[in-house]
Structure 1
Amino acid sequence: MTGQAAQPILRVSGLTKRFGAVEALVDAYLEVGRHEVVALVGDNAAGKSTLARIVSGAFAPTSGTVEFDGVAVEIPSPREAFKLGIATVFQELALCENLDVVSNIFLGRELRAGSILQEADMERRARDYLDALGSRIPNVRAPLATLSAGQRQGVAIARTLVGEPRLVILDEPTAALSVAQTAEVLTHIEGLRDLGMGVLFISHNLTDVRAVADRIEVLRHGRNNGSFDALTGTPEAVVAAVTGAARHPRRAVAAL
């Protein structure tokens, strides 16, 4: 695992999001560097997905700052996030069962020469994307309906590469997967890091998190409640931060 770059690709600070009287995020802070996997963990309603949706352009923050590549930005829509170089894979994969792997990867972003689809070029690029992620999908013309849940996650992650992103957000990508399928998806996450991207990995599963993350950031009731090095932070300490059994100052790295 690699360490965080001096200039983070993403920095959010003082991020607050209110839905009426409900505070989903309160003064949240987060950084993600290039070549880095940062895991964002917390219990249900901790604010993880809210933060992801703000960075991906689905929600507007009530207050706070988002910096991308050192520049303060507003991200009013997922389209603007895509233009910046931010790609997000939510739990709902938004893939089409009746299409093959290539068609899903390039859906809405097809390669054309005039009005003619560049099928061979898309097929080659799809294979390159999957190979770069360590995917085991043998046939890029296989219908999505024939693939396992883990392979479908691989297709969704490969789809992000079409836009050449610098930051990829993955919302619970290993939820409800078998052990073998989870291992496949974790390999894809490592592939993203090896390609030089920053990865924000949202998960409930600390075993998965510790397998690939460089850092673990904990949210509790919308607030930062701990920051841990994934190699040295013990599971007990992370669980204590998630449950509130122990409190950690914002941005403090656990000394364990």
Structure 2
Amino acid sequence: MSDQPAPAGTDRPALVELDQVSKYYGNIRALEGVSLEVHAGDITCVLGDNGAGKSTLIKIIAGLHQHDAGTFSIEGEQTRLANPREALDRGIATVYQDLAVVPLMPVWRNFFLGSEPTTGSGPFKRLDVRRMRETTRTELLRMGIDLRDVDQPIGTLSGGERQCVAIARAVYFGAKVLVLDEPTAALGVKQSGVVLKYVAAARDAGLGVVLITHNPHHAYLVGDRFILLKRGTMSASHTKDSVSLDELTRQMAGGSELEDLRHELERAPAPTHLGGPEK
């Protein structure tokens, strides 16, 4: 693993810092000795294939699981998050692949799902629908998302648009750290580009972003730091100015292992002549 100097300007306290964090399930090592930092206005990309430990890492940061070794700090304070609600209260918002939306509900209702403002009191208390509609439209426009109608069911939006609504929601509700779980995994090239644009917008809004992905090309477009996981351990750690896209892709693909596989799959040289009786 390469130890590279941090880029200029990163002497700010980390919003989230994991130092030699490990997680075990009985005799199974899900994570061991993983370290990363998340700074305001930066994107930290965590790359790895299936089974590399990315999901376990997300669950620790999101408060679903607690680490077994190492330290987990939020703005310099060592902590153990008891549950996802505590993570949200500490400013950590996680957007999972399934997005946890209600497809038949309108966009504005999903935007405020679980945090609906009300108006009136007592028996006259009701949802403040007008405020939710106006706020949803304003906040989406602030992120550069111009929906035709916030009353349309969110299930009618494309996958990229739903991801963008989830990102805008996290920004609006005061997230300091945004964790994105494979946001482009099920999207085509055009929709992936749309999502990456809004990931960059969240960074520019001052959030610290953790982008979980298996796509080094997407990571390199927006990332400032890159953590590579392999079988629960860190195989590499880079800053953007210390690694090229080709090298990041090579390490992500397995490096020497891929080269060995290439040799194994090469065709044997064709015979120089066909067999048969000599004259």
TM-score by length of 1: 0.90
What is the RMSD computed on CA atoms of the aligned residues? 2.0
Match of 1:129 among 118, 135, 139: 139
Q: Partner of 2:116 in structure 1?
A: 110
Residue 18 of structure 1 aligns to a residue in which SS?
strand
Distance, in Å, in 2 between the alignment partners of 1:216 and 1:13 is 15
Count of aligned positions: 247
Q: Partner of 1:31 in structure 2?
A: 37
1:95 aligns with 2:101: yes
Distance, in Å, in 1 between the alignment partners of 2:192 and 2:249 is 21
| Distance change in 2, residues 1:231/1:128 (3 Å) | farther
Q: Partner of 1:197 in structure 2?
A: 207
1:83 aligns with 2:89: yes
Q: Partner of 1:14 in structure 2?
A: 20
1:237 aligns with 2:247: yes
Q: Is the 8 A contact 1:167 1:197 kept in 2?
A: yes
Residue 226 of structure 2 aligns to a residue in which SS?
strand
Distance, in Å, in 2 between the alignment partners of 1:242 and 1:19 is 26
Q: Deviations over 1:39-90 (max 9, x none)?
A: 1101211111111110101111112211011111110100110110100001
Distance, in Å, in 2 between the alignment partners of 1:20 and 1:240 is 33
Between 161-170 and 233-242, report the one with greater CA deviation: 233-242
| Distance change in 2, residues 1:139/1:4 (3 Å) | farther
| Distance change in 2, residues 1:22/1:243 (3 Å) | farther
Between 78-87 and 130-139, report the one with greater CA deviation: 130-139
Shift of 1:135: 1.9
Q: Is the 8 A contact 1:17 1:63 kept in 2?
A: yes
Residue 103 of structure 2 aligns to a residue in which SS?
coil
What amino acid does structure 2 have at the position aligned with 1:200?
A: V
Q: Is the 8 A contact 1:12 1:30 kept in 2?
A: yes
Shift of 1:179: 1.4
Between 203-212 and 130-139, report the one with greater CA deviation: 130-139
Distance, in Å, in 1 between the alignment partners of 2:254 and 2:190 is 32
Within-5 A mapping of 1:207-218: 207-218=217-228
Residue 252 of structure 2 aligns to a residue in which SS?
helix
1:175 aligns with 2:185: yes
Shift of 1:159: 2.4
| Distance change in 2, residues 1:3/1:39 (3 Å) | farther
Distance, in Å, in 2 between the alignment partners of 1:154 and 1:5 is 30
Q: Deviations over 1:114-156 (max 9, x none)?
A: 3222222212221232123222423211211221111111122
Q: Partner of 1:161 in structure 2?
A: 171
What amino acid does structure 2 have at the position aligned with 1:166?
A: K
Residue 11 of structure 1 aligns to a residue in which SS?
strand
Q: Is the 8 A contact 2:43 2:222 kept in 1?
A: yes
Q: Is the 8 A contact 2:226 2:240 kept in 1?
A: yes
Percent of paired sites with the same residue:
35
Distance, in Å, in 2 between the alignment partners of 1:22 and 1:230 is 32
What amino acid does structure 2 have at the position aligned with 1:66?
A: F
Distance, in Å, in 1 between the alignment partners of 2:223 and 2:32 is 24
Match of 1:206 among 216, 221, 230: 216
Shift of 1:232: 4.8
Shift of 1:215: 1.4
Q: Is the 8 A contact 2:216 2:252 kept in 1?
A: no
1:60 aligns with 2:66: yes
Unpaired runs of 5+ in structure 1? 247-256
Q: Is the 8 A contact 1:91 1:173 kept in 2?
A: yes
Distance, in Å, in 1 between the alignment partners of 2:8 and 2:118 is 38
Q: Partner of 2:10 in structure 1?
A: 4
Q: Is the 8 A contact 1:219 1:225 kept in 2?
A: yes
Q: Partner of 2:80 in structure 1?
A: 74
1:186 aligns with 2:192: no
Q: Partner of 1:222 in structure 2?
A: 232
TM-score by length of 2: 0.83
Q: Partner of 1:48 in structure 2?
A: 54
What amino acid does structure 1 have at the position aligned with 2:152?
A: A
